[in-house]
């Protein structure tokens, strides 16, 4: 599979003024995040896909990527400048973080990109700068309690930017969102072998219709759209970054023959796999 894990190997990482050259090694390949990422665009622009939706991100826009999210950087302008703070999956999942943290990720995870005013953007920029200096000087020596405080501060600040903030108390258990996350996690792990909603519904002990309603409510996409978009994301990644023959890409994604894969790809993109490959080279 070409969609690889984006591991955050330390509990806390922070960088400031990441440039286009610093992002170049990420371009074109799709990743599944193993941790939470907060990033502020201070100069230039970039185009990215976050969980099957394409975003164009410009100056004074804040990006928030929850754990277990598909991310693909498509392009970055030559003058782009990004500040980023990342927290590991382990830190986020720590029992001490509590349910309230995941509820905030629930709300944030419906937006991903937030436009900030000049003043608010400046405040975030100063905070990112402080955290990057702290990471550089004493990053490995910071206690888990301190890191949890930083994460809590970031999540609280971002959640207050969400229009659904008032509804946060209305989703105490986020049971449906938890089930949705299970579905997405399963798709991310098995999409190359299993293309049908009924398979995932059976594994979750649900009726397909119930799973479809739940996924639509939580994400705005149908369950089938999520499966298909994951397949397309992987296919585009392979077509962009590898010289593998189209028939072999088809087989790697669970299609029995290249003709059916070509038809599927054209239906969802408007072009054949080879036409897409030619257009990005």
Specify whether 250 is located in the same domain as 205. yes
Specify whether 115 is located in the same domain as 198. no
Better-scored residue on pLDDT, 186 or 240: 186
Last-in-domain residue among 127, 149, 168:
168
CA 272 to the chain's CA centroid? 26
List the one residue out of 1, 51, 16 whose CA is nearest residue 237.
1
Specify whether 161 is located in the same domain as 35. yes
* Per-residue pLDDT reduced to its tens digit, 52-110: 678 899 999 999 888 778 888 989 999 999 999 999 888 887 745 445 555 566 556 56
Last-in-domain residue among 123, 153, 168:
168
Q: What is the largest CA-CA distance in the chain?
A: 56
Specify whether 248 is located in the same domain as 198. yes
Element (H, E) at 148: helix 144-159
Specify whether 147 is located in the same domain as 211. no
Task: State residue 205 phi and psi, 5-degree precision.
Answer: 55, 45
Rounded Cα distance, 79 and 133, in Å: 23
Query: Are the beta carbons of 232 and 276 closer than 8 angstroms?
Result: no
Per-residue model confidence (pLDDT) at position 179? 87
Last-in-domain residue among 112, 142, 168:
168
Q: Of all residues in the chain, what percent are helix, strand and coil, respectively (each to 5)?
A: 55, 20, 25
Specify whether 227 is located in the same domain as 263. yes
Q: Which range, of 75-89, 155-169, 225-239, 255-269, averages the lowest pLDDT?
A: 155-169
Per-residue model confidence (pLDDT) at position 220? 82
pLDDT at 3 over 90: no
- Which CATH number characterizes residue 207's domain? 1.10.10.60
Per-residue model confidence (pLDDT) at position 13? 93
Token digits of residue 247: 């028939």
Specify whether 133 is located in the same domain as 195. no
pLDDT at 238 over 80: yes
3-state secondary structure of 278: helix
Q: How many domains does the chain have?
A: 2
Specify whether 121 is located in the same domain as 226. no
Average pLDDT over residues 127-154: 89
pLDDT at 167 over 60: no
pLDDT at 207 over 90: yes
Q: Which range, of 98-112, 133-147, 203-217, averages the lowest pLDDT?
A: 98-112
Spell out the residues 6+ positions from residue 274 whose beta carbon is closer than 8 angstroms to its own: 246
Sole residue written with tokens 């299993």: 194
Per-residue model confidence (pLDDT) at position 171? 41
Specify whether 162 is located in the same domain as 243. no
Structural domain that includes position 266? 175-279
Query: Strand (E) positions, the chain?
Result: 4-7, 12-19, 30-43, 46-50, 53-57, 61-65, 70-76, 81-88, 113-115
Terminal C-alpha separation, the chain: 21
Specify whether 153 is located in the same domain as 209. no
Q: Could you count the other beta carbons within 10 Å of the beta carbon of residue 89?
A: 17
- Which CATH number characterizes residue 72's domain? 2.60.120.10
Specify whether 143 is located in the same domain as 13. yes
List the one residue out of 154, 184, 60 whose CA is nearest residue 114.
60
Helices (H), 197-269: 197-203, 208-219, 223-241, 246-252, 258-269
Rounded Cα distance, 24 and 17, in Å: 14
Q: Could you count the other beta carbons within 10 Å of the beta carbon of residue 78?
A: 8
Specify whether 41 is located in the same domain as 138. yes
């Amino acid at each position: 599979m070409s969609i690889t894990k984006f591991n955050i190997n330390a509990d806390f990482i922070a960088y400031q003024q990441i440039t286009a050259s610093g992002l170049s090694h990420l371009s074109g390949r799709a990743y599944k995040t193993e941790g939470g990422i907060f990033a502020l665009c201070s100069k230039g622009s970039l185009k990215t896909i976050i969980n099957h939706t394409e975003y164009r991100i410009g100056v004074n826009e804040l990006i928030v990527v929850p754990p277990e999210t598909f991310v693909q950087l498509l392009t970055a302008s030559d003058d782009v400048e990004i500040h980023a703070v990342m927290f590991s999956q382990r830190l986020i999942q720590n029992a001490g973080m509590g349910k309230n943290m995941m509820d905030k990720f629930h709300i944030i995870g419906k937006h991903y990109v937030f436009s900030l005013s000049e003043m608010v953007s400046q405040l975030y920029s100063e905070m990112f700068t402080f955290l990057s200096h702290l990471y550089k000087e004493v990053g490995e020596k910071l206690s888990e309690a301190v890191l949890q405080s930083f994460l809590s501060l970031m999540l609280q600040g971002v959640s207050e930017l969400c229009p659904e903030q008032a509804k946060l108390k209305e989703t105490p258990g986020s049971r449906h969102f938890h089930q949705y996350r299970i579905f997405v996690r399963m798709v991310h792990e098995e999409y190359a072998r299993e293309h049908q909603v009924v398979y995932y519904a059976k594994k979750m002990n649900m009726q397909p219709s119930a799973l479809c309603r739940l996924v639509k409510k939580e994400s705005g996409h149908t369950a089938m759209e999520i499966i298909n978009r994951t397949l397309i994301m992987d296919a585009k990644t392979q077509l962009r970054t590898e010289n593998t023959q189209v028939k072999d890409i088809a087989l790697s994604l669970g299609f029995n023959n290249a003709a059916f894969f070509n038809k599927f790809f054209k239906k969802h993109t408007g072009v054949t796999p080879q036409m897409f490959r030619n257009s990005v080279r």
